[in-house]
A and B are shown apart, each in its own frame.
Chain A
Amino acid sequence: AQKITQTQPGMFVQEKEAVTLDCTYDTSDPSYGLFWYKQPSSGEMIFLIYQGSYDQQNATEGRYSLNFQKARKSANLVISASQLGDSAMYFCAMREGGTFIFGSGTRLSVKP
């Protein structure tokens, strides 16, 4: 079974609009961490945001926020006010125990 599922291979969003990228996870460990990374065409993985399983509030970092719904095992990334530079691959990842597992990614394209 997939540990991290990203069901949207590709997404389009109009510049200045908000977009939500979906991520669901599967774990029986009560302690885990959830991460989102951005990978532009240059290839480098850029850390965006982190949510711990015991965190009560949704994480926010500037224009990025993580919609954490623990009962549904979802950790969606919300990007507000999209910019052209947001066009990239986005990966959801989970730390379970000491290891990390990445999803297959969502390609976001921002239209002017």
Chain B
Amino acid sequence: EAGVAQSPRYKIIEKRQSVAFWCNPISGHATLYWYQQILGQGPKLLIQFQNNGVVDDSQLPKDRFSAERLKGVDSTLKIQPAKLEDSAVYLCASSSVTSGTDTQYFGPGTRLTVL
């Protein structure tokens, strides 16, 4: 079974530029999560989708971050315009309610550096 796929793995941009990250969850997983992990900290949930609907986006800085999961499968997270403090690893995870535990399985992450 293929795991969670993310691209790109690394991205370097200058502040005020825009950037987009892509995530493809494990096949059949209805729930998809985007996390931001700043160096030295634990992951912070940005947004959670159930199929193509948003369950929780309370910690998403909506003035500059947006995310979509139009067909209930893959998802895109966008930052526009980027700030220096957005430098972090962006992790995508997915889970299946049928597992009974909602265990999240993570992708390799995208390391973003904003100069």
Contact = CB atoms under 8 A, between A and B. Distances in A.
Residue among B33, B41, B42, B111 with the most chain A CB within 10 A?
Answer: B42
Residue among A100, A101, A102 with the most chain B CB within 10 A?
Answer: A100
A83 to B, nearest CB: 22
Interface in A12-64: 33, 35, 37, 42-47, 50, 52
B82 interface: no
A33 B105 CA distance: 15
A43 B108 contact: yes
Interface stretch (B15-23, B61-69, B96-104): B96-104
Interface residues of B, number: 22
Contacts of B55: 98
Interface in B87-109: 89, 91, 93, 101-109
B112 interface: no
Contact of B41 (A35, A37, A104): A104
Contacts of B91: 45
A86 B102 CA distance: 25
Interface string B23-53: 0000000000100000001111100100000
B41 A47 contact: no
Given A98-B48, A98-B55, A99-B56, A47 B103 contact: yes
Main secondary structure of the interface of B (DSSP, over half): strand
A45 B106 contact: yes
17 contacts: A33-B101, A35-B103, A35-B104, A37-B106, A43-B89, A43-B111, A44-B106, A45-B43, A47-B104, A50-B101, A98-B55, A99-B45, A99-B48, A102-B43, A103-B42, A104-B41, A104-B42
The 5 closest A-B pairs by CB, nearest first: A102-B42, A45-B106, A102-B43, A50-B101, A43-B109
Interface of B: 33, 41-45, 48, 55-56, 89, 91, 93, 101-109, 111
Interface of A: 4, 33, 35, 37, 42-47, 50, 52, 91, 93, 95, 98-105
